[in-house]
Structure 1
C-alpha cells in the first residue's frame, strides 16, 4: 500500500496534455501542480505548473501544450522534457522544472512528496496566478 494521497486514476492523465491539481507546499502556500504522461516508468510524472523562466502557468485549466513528449511554455515556447523536466532551448534553456514525487500503483497516481499536501483537483481557486501575454498558438 502506498503512503500518499490518491490524486487521480492513471487513465485521467491525458496522452497529450496534463492533469491539473492543487497542493499546499511546506510553507502553506497553495501551488498548482501537473501530472503529465512520460514514456518511462511509471508512465506519469508531476511538476510544478510554472515555467522556470517567468511566472507562466503551463496548464491554465485546459491542459498544458505538449509536443513530442515535451511541455511547452505558452509565453516564449521553451520546451521541457516531460520525463526529466529539463529544458535545452529558448529562454528557459539550462533549467529544470521542480519535480514532485508521485507513485503509480493499482491504476492510481498518488502524491508521495513530503513537501506537498494534496488539496483538490484543478487550479488554485483565485485568479491571481500568472498570465501569458504571448500570441503563440498551439
Structure 2
C-alpha cells in the first residue's frame, strides 16, 4: 500500500485547521481548495492578492500550481477542477480568466473536467479552486 504524503509548498502557510494543502498517494494528487492569498511571509496574516476577481483568480491558480509542482504534477496531469465563486455575476469573467490562464500554461488537450458552484467564502474572498491530478 502506498503511503499518503502531505504537500505544503514553501509559499504556503500552515493550514488553519487539521488538513493538508495537498495530498499525494501513489499517482493520485488532490489539491485542497485554494484561495487568492499571496505567498506566506513570517508574521503576516494571509492577505488576498487584491480586491478584483482577476487578481484573486490568478493568485489562486498560482497557489494550486505550487501544490501540483510540490507533488510532482503539472496542469497536464489535472483531471478535474472545481471552481467556487461567491457571485454568479463573476461566471463569464472567470471563464475568460480561466481559459487565458490555462492557455498561457500550455495545457494540452483535452482540458480537465470542471465544475463551478456558488458558495459563501470569508469576507473579501471571491473564488476558491481545487484540483485532482493523476500522474502518469
TM-score between the two structures when normalised by the length of structure 1? 0.25
Q: Which has the higher helix share?
A: 2
Q: Which has the higher strand share?
A: 1
